Amino acid sequence: MQKRTLGNSGLEVSALGLGCMGLSFGLGPATEKSEAIKLIRAAVERGVTFFDTAEVYGPYVNEDVVGEALAPFRKDVVIATKFGFEPDPNNDGKWTALNSHPDHIKQVVEASLKRLQTDTIDLLYQHRVDPNTPIEETAGAVKDLIQAGKVKHFGLSEAGAKTIRRAHAVQPVTALQSEYSLFWREPEQSVIPTLEELGIGFVPFSPLGKGFLTGKIDAATKFDSTDFRAIVPRFSEENRKANQALVGVVTQFAEQQKATPAQIALAWLLAKKPWIVPIPGTTKLSRLEENLGGATITLNPEEVRALEEASSAIKVEGERYPATHQKLIDR
């Protein structure tokens, strides 16, 4: 597995990471713990060194799984986790309240360190921007944790360009984690120029369009009630039917490259910038191996341009989040 460096930070990771959320949360029933650990360790064996989790995934469960799975390899891997949510008393105790107050961050980090079975978090992201806490205070709290040796690098997730600049002025931001794929290219206008200017790495989550770009989801697909996609407008039956045209374009390119649609979607991201590190997630070993195959495909500038022109001609239907989630992004 080739390595990449996230921006100017010096943080080196495998060209593809593993998003671990779906093993415990958000995309249907949780994977049995021993099987989840087995999959994470299989990723390590295949050269993956970058693993992504968060306090809210479960909540707590995913950090436990990741910590146990990676304990034997701790010196050889980079673990990223996130703070910023807490139970909302006004919403049946669901984890929908935002809290990035410095005291809260420090409490979260202490608990995350224990679950992750580590002394230091390699990359700590603010999960969503908290409008009630100035980003300068949040960045300052992470700076304190870095100076204390409990965190190595600071990241933001789904933050807007102005917020990134303000945070970066207090504590250099190593990476932005936001959704980016052939299914959602908006970051090219809103944040990628800022990241390039400031020397910040980009970690796309949902690089396969929450599975849609694999070609394995169509209008007839039924989502489990615990699957977040069941409430996502872009994944309504009508929109899935309309958006199949995009999958058709990616599939056609994949056939030309003797690859799968998922591999082409990942190869496209890797071809965009040398400091982009996608983190596809999966619960299956066969899919893990398929995804890692995407890092072996090199698309030349002409192929990238042709793929973008063909895909840009198709209007993607449906918002990528329900209204309640939409308001938490691009702040």
Q: What gap in Å lies between CA 181 and CA 179, rounded to an integer? A: 7
Cβ neighbours around 249 below 10 Å, total: 20
* Residue 80 near residue 116 (C-beta atoms within 8 A): no
Question: Does residue 75 sit in helix, strand or coil?
Answer: helix
Verify cis geometry, omega within 30 degrees of 0, for the bond prior to 72: no
* Residue 201 near residue 277 (C-beta atoms within 8 A): yes
57 catalytic? Reply is: yes
The active-site residue, picked from 57, 125, 180, 321, is 57
Q: Which two tokens stand for residue 265?
A: 């979607």
Q: Which residues pair with 175 in a beta bridge?
A: 155, 201
Residue 227: DSSP 8-state = B
In degrees to the nearest 10, what's the CA dihedral of 112, 114, 115, 117?
A: 120
Active site amino acids: 57
